[in-house]
């Protein structure tokens, strides 16, 4: 009996030790997201990527995603990562004008691309090529970079068909080149966090906004706008970044595992699954709920007017501004972006 008791106690101790060993080997990371857990971006991109990381690490890494701004507000994510409030976060850099001015090259208006997949690939290639761009993101560890598709213009009441229609309209845009473009076109730029735009449109605080199809779907903006105009607007960009101290603390094999589904591969994946499939879904949902969708694409002559005012002139102005701030490689960065986008 005594021997049986000893064996039983020993067995329990071994089980506890093994369990503790397994638990100790699991690296648990937090991830901040401003989008709801029910959003397509969460379901189609964030969670599949989390699964990719966990599988690549052979279960050594577990990521808990805090959706819907429950860990930190979207506009505070970059600082939250720096301060260790979150381990990983997706960061919309349009919230922080001036933080990454050379990276803004990918959000210049009317660049020659029409898919987020293409923009994301080019953006990561620029990041890898230019140390000056890497330096702008140095406060955190960048895992991957991605862009939206170029924004379209959505409006509540008046549909914009000509440049004159835009004059004086209050339009939500992100910071940096998109804001400068809207000013050049005669609109009044409004900087409003994405989750707040539904009510801003509903109450008439803004007349419209530049938005990618993904945001229109995620935030149900099709419920409060009815006009959709395809114009030569900018794309915007994002990073999936990580607290640098946490990254440095990871074992080498875990870093390799995370990197294997990040970098260029991850950038293309996020751009494609986050943005490029959303337009059809918006149309389907809006029509099923009885919300009108009035679409309009600028004819060639009218598009040329917009480009003449807010396309190439703003590229040149961006280079001039960057060079004045001491960024001597600004023109080289722009030329490289154009070259990569045209490949």
In a domain, 9, yes or no: no
Give the tokens for residue 141.
Answer: 């560890």
In a domain, 335, yes or no: no
Rounded to an integer, what distance in angstroms lies between the CA atom of residue 85 and that of residue 78? 10
**H helix or E strand, kind and range, residue 83:** none
Residues 31 and 129 in one domain: yes
- Residue 176: the pLDDT is 82
For 343, which DSSP code? -
Q: Let me know whether 141 and 31 are in one domain.
A: yes
Residues 102 and 224 in one domain: no
| Three-state DSSP state, 61 | strand
Residues 295 and 243 in one domain: no
pLDDT for residue 248: 98
Instruction: Please name the residues in contact with 263: beta carbons below 8 A apart, sequence gap of 6 or more.
Output: 124, 143, 144
Assess if residue 286 is contained within a domain: no
State the virtual CA torsion across 331, 110, 181, 104 in degrees, nearest 10.
-50
DSSP letter at 212 equals -
Q: Are 128 and 92 in contact (CB under 8 A)?
A: no
Q: Are residues 79 and 127 in the same domain?
A: yes
Q: Does one domain contain both 133 and 261?
A: yes
Q: Are residues 40 and 90 in the same domain?
A: yes
Q: Which residue in the block uniquely carries the two structure tokens 């690490």? A: 57
pTM: 0.82
List the one residue out of 94, 89, 67, 63 whose CA is nearest residue 78: 89
- 57's tokens: 């690490």
Domain around 76: 27-149+236-276
CATH number at residue 221: 3.40.190.10
Which element (helix H / strand E) includes 263? helix 263-271
One domain, residues 124 and 220: no
- Burial (CB count within 10 angstroms: exposed 0-12, middle 13-18, buried 19+), residue 16: exposed
Domain match, 172 and 204 both:
yes
The Cα 76–Cα 64 span in angstroms is 19
What total of structural domains would you count in the chain?
Answer: 2
**Residue for token pair 């199809």:** 213
Q: Are residues 73 and 144 in the same domain?
A: yes
Q: 2 in a domain, yes or no?
A: no
- pLDDT for 24: 53
Same domain, 102 and 167: no
Q: What are the pLDDT digits (tens) for 42-85? A: 999 999 999 999 999 999 999 999 999 999 999 999 999 999 99
Closest among 190, 230, 232, 181 to 209, alpha carbons compared = 190
Residues of the chain short of pLDDT 70, as ranges, are 1-24
Q: Do residues 50 and 187 both lie within one domain? A: no
Give the separation between CA 172 and CA 175, rounded to whole angstroms: 10
Instruction: Give the per-residue pLDDT at 291.
Output: 95
The CATH number assigned to the domain holding 39 equals 3.40.190.170
């Amino acid at each position: 009996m005594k021997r049986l008791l000893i064996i039983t106690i020993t067995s329990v101790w071994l089980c506890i030790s093994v369990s503790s060993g397994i638990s100790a080997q699991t690296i648990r990371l937090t991830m901040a997201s401003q989008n709801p857990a029910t959003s397509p971006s969460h379901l189609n991109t964030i969670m599949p990527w989390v699964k990719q990381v966990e599988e690549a690490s052979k279960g050594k890494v577990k990521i808990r995603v805090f959706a819907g701004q429950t860990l930190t507000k979207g506009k505070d994510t970059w600082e939250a990562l720096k301060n260790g409030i979150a381990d990983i976060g997706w960061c919309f850099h349009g919230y922080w004008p001036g933080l990454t001015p050379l990276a803004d090259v990918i959000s210049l208006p009317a660049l020659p691309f029409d898919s987020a997949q293409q923009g994301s690939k080019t953006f990561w290639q620029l990041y890898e090529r230019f140390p000056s761009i890497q330096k702008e993101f140095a406060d955190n560890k960048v895992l991957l970079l991605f862009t939206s598709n170029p924004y379209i213009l959505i409006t509540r009441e008046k549909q914009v068909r000509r440049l004159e229609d835009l004059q004086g309209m209050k339009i939500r845009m992100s910071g940096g080149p998109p804001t400068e473009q809207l000013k050049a076109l005669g609109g009044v730029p409004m900087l409003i966090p994405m989750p707040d735009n539904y009510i801003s449109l509903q109450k008439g605080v803004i007349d419209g906004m530049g938005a990618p199809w993904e945001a229109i779907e995620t935030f149900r903006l099709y419920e409060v706008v009815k006009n959709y105009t395809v114009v030569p607007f900018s794309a915007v960009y994002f990073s999936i970044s990580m607290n640098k101290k946490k990254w440095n603390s990871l074992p080498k094999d875990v870093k390799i595992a995370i990197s294997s589904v990040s970098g260029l591969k991850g950038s293309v994946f996020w751009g494609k699954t986050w943005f490029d499939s959303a337009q059809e879904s918006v149309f389907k949902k809006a029509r099923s709920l009885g919300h009108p969708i009035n679409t309009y694409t600028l004819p060639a002559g009218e598009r040329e007017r917009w480009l003449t005012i807010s396309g190439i002139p703003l590229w040149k102005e961006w280079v001039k501004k960057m060079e004045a701030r001491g960024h001597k490689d600004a023109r080289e960065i722009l030329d490289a972006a154009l070259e990569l986008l045209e490949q």
